[in-house]
Amino acid sequence: MTKRILTGIQSTGTPHLGNILGVILPSIRLFKKYVNTKQFVFIADLHSLIQQNDFEQIQNNAYHIAAAWLSFGLNIEKTILYRQSDVSSEVTELAWYINCCFPYNRLILSHSFKERSKHDKTKINVGLFTYPILMAADILLYNAEIIPVGKDQLQHIEITRSAANKLNNKIGKKLFVLPIPYFHKTTMLIPGTNGQKMSKSKKNYINIFSSDDNLKKQIMSIKTDNTFFKEKKNPDTSIIISLYKLIASKEKVDKMKTKYLQGKYGYLEAKLTLYKCLIETFSFERKQFTFFINNKSLLDNILYSGAKKAKIIANQRLNEIRKNFRLKEILNIN
Ligand code: AMP
């Protein structure tokens, strides 16, 4: 069977630099390299319900996710771009089958659940707990084998592999492929402005699609130590350099490092250099993003066409799964 590559981003906001460097760019390179693969990019709007219940906002964010992928050159002739909610009945049905064969004791070990539930249990919902199951369904519904992800998703891929194994054992047949994560060591965890993992919920993100002024403000908010302007600075602990390294040439980074070590080089100057570099590096994508966001009917058409293609594949596959589980008889499905 043709290998399938699949990845997704929640529609909780505009994709940030972490999403772009960690997943969008590596996926697009992968798609270009392996032309003989089936490729899927989905907008995880059902997942985003865990954090948001403003449907209009989720819908609007979905446009932002689509526009970001397209502005980085996603080839929609080759890749199916769709909203998760366009295959909601298929994906949630499969998620239920997985729920019913996956051990509770294994799911409570999920880092993402443990991390968020330790703060305030009154603010979390069951969706947060079963998030990895829905993600497993997203992947197994298409028998996707290669999954571009950031570091935070590695455990979820493990859970998906385990779910695939359990389902295969249950039916006595290798119906589900065990997926593998795809990532680069240098971009699997992009730091945010406070040095922790860049994330929409932590509000430490850099949104390269925001206006020049807003982008500058985000860069200026990068945390630095109290080293005085004249003093020498440590390049190895600088968040500015960690980010600069990801987009600037080695020569430019070395130049900044030398200035740090020499002293008389302020963080303000370093931040301005990073800001200018971001503007230059992504000038084309920023223009493209504006174009797509101002052409919602074009985005609607692209998403509509993606939904149609995804739905056909999801339906066929779900029928195959039902048949193998002998669910056709129970569910009274033709
Ligand atoms: P999310 O925005 O949580 O839906 O994440 C979408 C994809 O981006 C997932 O594969 C994440 O692992 C990846 N991702 C999110 N934040 C980062 C980050 N700071 N660095 C690298 N990858 C990230």
The pLDDT tens digits for 185-196 are 999 999 999 999
* pLDDT tens-digit readout, 206-217: 999 999 999 999
Q: Residue 50 has which token pair?
A: 């865990």
pTM score, two decimals?
Answer: 0.95
* pLDDT tens-digit readout, 69-106: 999 999 999 999 999 999 999 999 999 999 999 999 99
Ligand 1 atom with the smallest distance to the CA of 23 is 8
Residues 6+ apart with CB under 8 A from 12: 48, 51, 52, 58, 61, 200, 201
Ligand 1 atom with the smallest distance to the CA of 151 is 12
Q: Residue 279 has which token pair?
A: 């503007």
Q: Residue 245 has which token pair?
A: 């390294």
Per-residue pLDDT, averaged over 115-119, amounts to 81
Q: Residue 231 C-alpha to ligand 1 middle, in angstroms? A: 36
Q: What is the CATH number of domain 3-189+295-331?
A: 3.40.50.620
d(CA 9, CA 249): 28
The 79-83 sheet, strands edge to edge: 79-83, 38-44, 4-10, 146-148, 180-182
Q: Residue 224 C-alpha to ligand 1 middle, in angstroms? A: 24
DSSP string, 294-313: T-HHHHHHHHHHHHHHHHHH
Q: Is the pLDDT of residue 333 over 80?
A: no
Ligand 1 atom with the smallest distance to the CA of 188 is 21
The confidence score (pLDDT) of residue 115 equals 83
CATH architecture of residue range(s) 212-286 = Orthogonal Bundle (1.10)
Indicate where the chain has its CATH 1.10.240.10 domain(s). Answer: 212-286
Indicate where the chain has its CATH 3.40.50.620 domain(s). Answer: 3-189+295-331
Per-residue pLDDT, averaged over 299-304, amounts to 98
The confidence score (pLDDT) of residue 229 equals 85
pLDDT band for position 332 (cuts 50, 70, 90): low
The residue to mutate among 20, 46, 152, 205, having the most atoms of ligand 1 within 8 angstroms of its beta carbon, is 152
CA-proximal residue: ligand 1, atom 11 (nearest): 150
CA-proximal residue: ligand 1, atom 17 (nearest): 18
The confidence score (pLDDT) of residue 119 equals 78
Residue 83, beta-bridge partner list: 43
